[in-house]
Structure 1
């Protein structure tokens, strides 16, 4: 009897075993993929971890937005009226001064001498007028002579007043109370008319001027609440009111200029700042959801609502105004519905969710 070749038997058995293992492995992968597909369609048992919220009604108002520029309530560049040497500077950069405070004194020696001369002439003219008046009462001089002396007295007084005005021009005062900017002059410097000494701004209140479209004119009124935001103070809203609406529409831009008045006791708002303005009106009760919960796919807008059986339902909604991370829902859901906020990218209709009972409130 011829023995069976050992080497051929071993090789054939080994090849058969490898083929069987490959087949079993492929079947396992197919079954796992099918299971994963069932889970993605909601047919599996593994729930999807999400965050939910309850739809609630809250006070809400429409808002008109614009960009404006802050201006000081009063603002001026302090300059000299005459050409003269700076004798003394009475302020430092950034000082807060009151109305009438002396800022700079200019040299005025010639004017002081001229004033003494003019006052002496006015005093002499008055004394002469008094003597002639006494003589006129005794009818010792003509009335016309008395009138001539009275005119001379008035002329001397006017000359003295003119010199006093020239001296006053050499004392530069604050026209109103406010905060001074950076000092631009020093003692001994020669200033001329128009030389900038410093800026002066009343920062107790600021105005913000901003344009609004002509079509929104009917929505504007004096006294409306305005909220302003500046890049320098993220997260801070400044409260103001509409103080003035311009009487004219710009024919080029078809917009109207609006001025809002903002209290500024801490001087955080500065002239020239860019201010984002929200002008709110028409407060009403509305259903609100976090904007992140609203899904936009093409022309469809929908949310994922949690049904009574704990599965996900895809519901088309109609969205109104969006503001501050919230969206107004006009149609599609009602108060009390539970809507998924976070995790919508992993959901399919009919999927099961985890921790759906830990809902949080939709509005602040």
Structure 2
């Protein structure tokens, strides 16, 4: 009897089980992948420079005799900013003018005699040469006299005065600075990764901490022809209007470069699963019954708050899991608890799941 019971038990264990417990489906929240226009932003830091800037200095060794500007004064091109001792040069100018006048008179007299056949052509040539030599000496004297004047080369604002009347200055000594601040140049370093996105005329937005973080609109003027082999960045120059003259050379500026809007396939940022350097998302395969999820590897692009662009791995309209990914693996059976239509929070989705309409489904 005991032997028969053992045989019966072994026979029962060897029979295949015809009924097994079906795996429970995981409730998930999903959102469809959609397209939208996305304007990618590039952030950089730049330094302001004046449109034109120069440090004015003397070209000769002389004593300052007069100063015609004050600190921070606005001047026009050609304005005399400072004078240096030029008594000798003025005397030489008087002499040169007199010499030119006499040489011209002699030339005209011989010219009339040649026309009357009363003088020779060779004498006329001598007088012409003397007249031209006197004119050249006059120009040289005027040039030496001009070296004793410090002129503004363009419209702008002068900086701090570095000289005083009676001071002996030598070539290279700083007299003052002059900046054309009607337009400001903004030089910034941009990663070469964005080189294809940069072009002259591209709009930028600049924010300067020295101006209470106010924004200034401008545009890219030029792009350097070389990429720095060490930083792998390219220098970009933008122009910023400065009608109020509140932008100053040397100010540190935060820049946002706005790329032209492009249509991008977007999914919720909550759908993204980071594994090392790879990114994945669970996509619902609703064709199968019951529905299952497929783990897809993604190539992503730019972001905006709450969403990320997908370059490859997902198609438009596919349902992507946004909540419940922690309980999923590739091929897991799921049922959709609620579909996110906009930017609903998890609390709103749970309330939507608990609504009578969903229960009746």
TM (norm. structure 2) is 0.66
Q: In structure 2, do the counterparts of structure 1 residues 83 and 327 end up closer, same or farther at CA, with 3 Å as the change threshold?
A: farther
Specify every segment of 5 or more residues in structure 2 that has no aligned partner in the other structure, as ranges. Answer: 1-34, 281-297, 310-319, 323-338, 353-361
In the alignment, the residues of structure 2 paired with residue 242 and residue 222 of structure 1 have an alpha-carbon distance, to the nearest angstrom, of 5
1:183 to 145, 161, 164: 161
Q: Which residue of the partner structure matches residue 122 of structure 2?
A: 144
Q: Which residue of the partner structure matches residue 328 of structure 1?
A: 307
Q: Which residue of the partner structure matches residue 63 of structure 1?
A: 41
In the alignment, the residues of structure 1 paired with residue 204 and residue 129 of structure 2 have an alpha-carbon distance, to the nearest angstrom, of 62
1:250-269 correspondence to structure 2 within 5 Å: 250-269=228-247
Q: In structure 2, do the counterparts of structure 1 residues 286 and 267 end up closer, same or farther at CA, with 3 Å as the change threshold?
A: farther
In the alignment, the residues of structure 2 paired with residue 231 and residue 296 of structure 1 have an alpha-carbon distance, to the nearest angstrom, of 35
Q: Which residue of the partner structure matches residue 345 of structure 2?
A: 339
In the alignment, the residues of structure 1 paired with residue 104 and residue 125 of structure 2 have an alpha-carbon distance, to the nearest angstrom, of 12
Question: Cα RMSD over matched residues?
Answer: 3.4
8 Å contact from structure 1 (residues 86, 186) kept in 2:
yes
Q: In structure 2, do the counterparts of structure 1 residues 64 and 95 end up closer, same or farther at CA, with 3 Å as the change threshold?
A: same
2:100 to 109, 122, 144: 122
Q: Which residue of the partner structure matches residue 219 of structure 2?
A: 241
2:183 equivalent to 1:205: yes
CA offsets 1:268-325 (integer angstroms, 9 cap, x no match): 221112211111114257899xx9xx89999799xxxxxxxxxxxxxxxx997557xx
8 Å contact from structure 1 (residues 287, 334) kept in 2:
no
Specify every segment of 5 or more residues in structure 1 that has no aligned partner in the other structure, as ranges. Answer: 1-56, 302-317, 341-346, 353-364
Give 1:174 shift. Answer: 0.6
In the alignment, the residues of structure 2 paired with residue 86 and residue 329 of structure 1 have an alpha-carbon distance, to the nearest angstrom, of 66
In the alignment, the residues of structure 2 paired with residue 351 and residue 145 of structure 1 have an alpha-carbon distance, to the nearest angstrom, of 114
In the alignment, the residues of structure 2 paired with residue 171 and residue 298 of structure 1 have an alpha-carbon distance, to the nearest angstrom, of 70
Q: Which residue of the partner structure matches residue 194 of structure 1?
A: 172
Q: Which residue of the partner structure matches residue 110 of structure 1?
A: 88
Q: Which residue of the partner structure matches residue 226 of structure 1?
A: 204
Q: Which residue of the partner structure matches residue 101 of structure 1?
A: 79
In the alignment, the residues of structure 2 paired with residue 89 and residue 327 of structure 1 have an alpha-carbon distance, to the nearest angstrom, of 63
Aligned residue for 1:270, secondary structure, equals: coil
Q: In structure 2, do the counterparts of structure 1 residues 281 and 134 end up closer, same or farther at CA, with 3 Å as the change threshold?
A: same
Give 1:140 shift. Answer: 2.2
